[in-house]
Structure 1
Amino acid sequence: MLDLTNKTILLTGAAKGIGAATAKALGEAGAHVIAHYGGDRAGADAATAAIPAQRKLLLQADFSDPASADALFREALAWRGRIDVLVNNAAVMLTGGGIDADMDAWDETWARTLAVNVLAPARLLKHAVAHYRETGGGIVVTISSWAAQRGSTNADHIAYAASKAAIKAASHTLARACAKENILVYVVAPGVVRTKMSEDFAASMGGEAPVTAGLAMGEWVPPEDIANLVAFLATGASRHLTGATLDVNGATYVR
């Protein structure tokens, strides 16, 4: 059993999918969890229902405005005076603004995708590093995607793939630049995870059957697999893993 007792963890996008599973895993390991959500308060409540009231704080922020990340970090830090781990998970994958879209749809998709998936989490990275330098170190876990390495098979998701590559590169830069300051940065790159986002992607590709047929294990990744990995990384037990990109895709994409 992982032990995150007395760790204070800021988790973004905690209301559904990977974020909801991660909130549960962190809570079960004893962490104090700051669960960020965009608009789905009910989802965040459900994801953190098993965490005792004294060990959780729910905070809302709309990352469509990247500056909202500043207030989020400030409020999160004020709760217990310290953040030990930042899990940058919140993201959107929009359709309808891809390579064949008109320019208005293209611009709108890119603007929102970059705001939510890159600019807001990058601001949180900036705040986290500043805080960790004051406190002697800390951990960042960035949830990227295998699309950051291999691209997407759907040209509608060009902005999503680019955004996941951007936040991955930003995280790797901090891992290299801050390693001597006891600031550990890990990147997790999931494949096809059983989430609403992946289900929507499968629908755009003709349904789940053809997507599943292309997977080495013949099954989608359970969100709990990602959650358990994040909880392990949050312990800091493998310091020299910092800078690594950890692929979780059931051997479908092996580098």
Structure 2
Amino acid sequence: MTSPIDLSGKTILLTGASKGIGAATAAILGASGAYLVAHYGSDRAGAEAATAAIPEERKLLLGADLADLDAVEAMWAAALAWRGRIDVLVNNAAIMPFDGGFDAPLADFDRAWADALAINVMAPARMMRAAVNHFLESGGGSIVTISSWAAQRGVTNPATIAYGASKAAVKSATQSIARAYAKDNIQAYVVAPGVVRTRLSEQFAATQGGEEKISATLATGEWVTPDELGRLVAFLASGATPQLSGSTLDVNGASYVR
């Protein structure tokens, strides 16, 4: 894999690098010359596969349970210690509970919300806190948050309402960082994909009558590829357009236009 974007010398911390968007992004960031800290939850083999083409000296694989905030802090510390600096944080890891609808038992409803908020909001919030404080000391840096079009338009399946709400929360937090720290050379971007060819989206499609039904609602009739999102993340990580900071970049093939 080759990339037209040059990230040589940049150290990038990417969460959720073992599957889907994260795996594609890991490969593209590596092909762009970045030093990559690739986080994974339990799937180390997935992270190893995603980063297989990256030279050993340019990658560090770190496992951490994002539901454990102590583990989140330890991961940041280990990532920072590797090269003494982090230039870009990519908040990608997320879960989508499918059992948190209003008609679900209360225990399931509460658990879906607790899990989504823990992994999709609190873990990224801790990472962003650490990143902002580091960037203030080091002269700047960038944050890229993978949100979702669900943050703007809500979810189709109310059983995933906690997921949509969590993506709205992390979107708002990222935008607040962009506004508050623009003068400190800290950029923050939100990427809001539509239907992406990932395991989570395939599971979601199954709850809505299948892939053909979902594809029929899309303007292009096609799902977003993880590679396209990876290329966008690499572009944002390059720092080529700092005045884009604070923006939400919709990637849905014109299916949801604001």
Fold similarity call, TM over 0.5: yes
1:135 aligns with 2:138: yes
Letter in 1 for 2:51: T
Counterpart among 22, 38, 42 of residue 39 in structure 1: 42
Counterpart among 102, 110, 115 of residue 112 in structure 1: 115
Q: TM-score, normalised by structure 2?
A: 0.98
Letter in 1 for 2:210: G
Measured against aligned partners, the alpha-carbon deviations of 1:127-165 in whole angstroms (never above 9, x if no partner) come to 000000000000000000000000001000100000000
Contact 1:68 1:120 (8 Å CA) reproduced: no
In 1: Cα distance, 2:193 partner to 2:143 partner = 17
Counterpart among 29, 33, 44 of residue 32 in structure 2: 29
Contact 1:27 1:33 (8 Å CA) reproduced: yes
Give the count of matched residue pairs.
255
In 1: Cα distance, 2:69 partner to 2:102 partner = 25
Report the counterpart of residue 152 of structure 1 in structure 2. Answer: 155
1:185 is paired with a residue whose SS is strand
Report the counterpart of residue 6 of structure 1 in structure 2. Answer: 9
In 2: Cα distance, 1:155 partner to 1:247 partner = 22
Report the counterpart of residue 129 of structure 2 in structure 1. Answer: 126
In 2: Cα distance, 1:233 partner to 1:48 partner = 20
In 2: Cα distance, 1:156 partner to 1:117 partner = 16
1:176 aligns with 2:179: yes
Contact 1:187 1:243 (8 Å CA) reproduced: yes
Q: CA deviation at 1:67?
A: 3.0
Q: CA deviation at 1:98?
A: 1.5
Deviating above 3 A after TM superposition, structure 1's stretches of 4 or more consecutive aligned residues are none
Letter in 2 for 1:135: S
In 2: Cα distance, 1:135 partner to 1:160 partner = 34
Q: CA deviation at 1:69?
A: 1.3
1:67 is paired with a residue whose SS is helix
Structure 2 stretches of 5 or more lacking a match?
none
Letter in 2 for 1:49: A
In 2: Cα distance, 1:127 partner to 1:64 partner = 17
1:210 aligns with 2:213: yes
Structure 1 stretches of 5 or more lacking a match?
none
Q: CA deviation at 1:66?
A: 2.7
Measured against aligned partners, the alpha-carbon deviations of 1:168-199 in whole angstroms (never above 9, x if no partner) come to 00000000000000000000000000000100
Letter in 2 for 1:207: G
Report the counterpart of residue 56 of structure 1 in structure 2. Answer: 59
In 2: Cα distance, 1:59 partner to 1:134 partner = 24
Identity over the aligned pairs, expressed in percent? Answer: 64
Q: CA deviation at 1:64?
A: 1.5
Root mean square deviation, CA, Å: 0.5
Counterpart among 84, 91, 101 of residue 81 in structure 1: 84
